[in-house]
Chains A and B, each alone.
Chain A
């Protein structure tokens, strides 16, 4: 199993550009989520999904969209990039949305917005 994979590893955008961060998992997990981590800080939840076709907002959803058309994939879209979105983005998955389940994290995407 590859676990949770994320692409790209690094990305530089100009203000106002849009892009999609890809996340995929091959563990048949129902629950997937996106976090961002700013330098020296903990992780903050952006959006999450408890199954295909179901998404919801986390702690810091503004400026981001998500969709979940398949169990495996959970892309994160930046609609109009801003310097404040410079961060490291982590995707995570677990069997269900129950907190008791261990979350598996991807390697992260390092995004810089100029």
Chain B
């Protein structure tokens, strides 16, 4: 699976958009980009995933560059409850090889009033 690089921490003002970058320059053609988050002391929570097209759901938007070497998770109107560690994960979507999610360090997002 491709390795990802994320900033260690970011701040965002409440009500503003939070843009969380992720670099995955070694991503291969069959690898998806997944985002999970972990609010303090809780289990991780799935947010969104994508292959090459931009994706949007009720929680967030995922923007993937045309060369697929980087992506950005956008929380359009961040609230205090969005304070969490955000993990960007890249892996193949097919194959029953354990469905292992490789969680790196993630980005600690602090939403401030």
Other-chain residue from A97, A102, A104, A106 in contact with B98 (beta carbon distance below 8 A): A97
Q: Does A105 contact B (CB under 8 A)?
A: yes
Check A100 against B93 for contact (C-beta < 8 Å).
yes
Judged by a CB distance under 8 angstroms, whether A108 is at the interface is yes
In contact, A108 and B94 (Cβ under 8 angstroms): no
Which label, helix, strand, loop or mixed, suits the secondary structure of the B interface? Answer: loop
A-contacting residues, B76-108, CB 8 Å: 87, 91-106
Q: Pick the contact of B49: A4, A97, A100 (CB < 8 A).
A: A100
Number of A-B contacts (CB under 8 A): 77
B43–A99 touching, CB < 8 Å:
no
- Which range holds the interface residue count of chain A? 20 to 34
Chain A residues near B41: list those with CB within 8 A.
108
The answer to whether A101 and B43 have CB atoms under 8 Å apart is no
Q: Which of A4, A43, A48, A106 sits near B99, CB closer than 8 Å?
A: A48
Q: Is there an interface contact between A92 and B49, defined as CB atoms closer than 8 Å?
A: no
B45 to chain A, nearest CB (A): 7
Residues of B within 8 A of A (CB): 32, 34, 36, 41-46, 49, 87, 91-106
